[in-house]
Structure 1
Amino acid sequence: MAKTIFEELGGKYERQGDYLIPCIALPAEEKQPIGTWGQRHLDYLKQYRKVTYTNLLTSGRLNAYLADIDRQAQERFERLIEGMKQAQGITERLKEENALEWTGRLNNIRAYAREVIEREIIYI
């Protein structure tokens, strides 16, 4: 019996009943921690960018890609918050004088920064 292209490339088959099933495995990938930004982007890829998701998964680069997206998003998020805090004059003194106002203003800044990150990095 002649070898198939899969066998010529070093592939092996496994017999299950009367059928020969190719033994296929995804390439090994280094595990990196993925935070909330990376998880959100993963959900987006799975739902709206299936081809990109499949290509990254089968090439073994998905985890590294998501970790990089997560790192970029977190850095941008922190820079945006710090910049807006300075622009709006939110200081530790305000926190001491009026903690409720400080909390409300900081929550508004975080919500705005979250929207910017989602629009510019996560959902593209």
Structure 2
Amino acid sequence: METGRIFITEKDYLRLTNLMGSHTDHNFEDLEIELDRASIISDNDVPKDLVTMNSKIKFLDLKTNKDSIITIVYPQNSNTNEAKISIFAPLGSALIGLKKNQEINWKFPNGKTKSLKVLEILYQPEAAEDWHL
């Protein structure tokens, strides 16, 4: 895990905490830690370079030098064939709240630590004014 500063919108924070409360069969420890350390920002003041829910991003695995494109979604919308990764998945929890060019070291359930870097925000609902997402 990383202790660098992350940000989350009020709407995302409320939705995620409510969703975690209704899914008592999951372990949300990593996501809870991320939400606890996040600075909550107004939905109207979201920087365009911030990873929010439903953002499509390009990131780099710094150890393998492999880049990937994913969209971070709510669990009901996850689809690995479409690279839609649940916020409850370790990768989703690792990248939420980061900004472009920000890096994080994240320990995955298999015990391996990955160093990840956000390269680009390809789509962000707030920047596109897609308030319905």
Scaled by the length of structure 2, the TM-score of the pair is 0.25
Decide which structure has the larger Cα Rg and report it.
1
**Structure number having the greater helix percentage:** 1
**Structure number having the greater strand percentage:** 2
Scaled by the length of structure 1, the TM-score of the pair is 0.26
